[in-house]
A = this chain, B = another copy of it.
Amino acid sequence: MSELVRFGVSLEKSLLDAFDSFIRERNYTNRSEAFRDMIRQELIKREWVGGDDVAGAITLIYDHHRKDLLNKITGIQHDYQKVIISTQHIHLDHHNCLEIIAVRGNPSEVQRLTGMLKSIKGVKHGTLSMSSTGKEIE
């Protein structure tokens, strides 16, 4: 078995509280154990998407009131115009937006775009759902 390494993590208190109640619910003995499980899940999900032309959707939830968020989100999308077809925007409530970006093109470019959008402060959640363009699947 591999040696243990210890390091620090910073989280918003409200998020940590929600996480701690989740840990109790699932009967983990400590936070490290829960993190270990989540990391393994992520590594398993990381499937390879074949080909050089994929199609799919990036889904984001964000609070449009966060300073500079809209400029950043739109600026990044214009930089990645080549892989973006169109964006569907839904106003969920006074604060929250659901934005669904239809994408097509090189898979690593699409993944890079998703990473950049998710790391913007104020983006609460982001997922990428990717598929082949359908030519190779029957």
Contacts and interface: CB of A to CB of B under 8 A. Distances in A.
Contacts of A95: 134
Contacts of A46: 22, 25
Contacts of A13: 2-5
A126 to B, nearest CB: 8
Copies in the complex: 4
Interface residues of A, number: 91
A86 B92 CA distance: 10
B78 A91 contact: yes
**By DSSP majority rule, is chain A's interface helix, strand, loop, or mixed?**
mixed
Interface of A: 1-16, 18-19, 22, 25-29, 31-33, 35-44, 46, 55-57, 59, 61-64, 70-71, 74-75, 77-78, 81, 84-98, 100, 102, 104, 111-112, 114-116, 118-119, 124-127, 129-135, 137-138
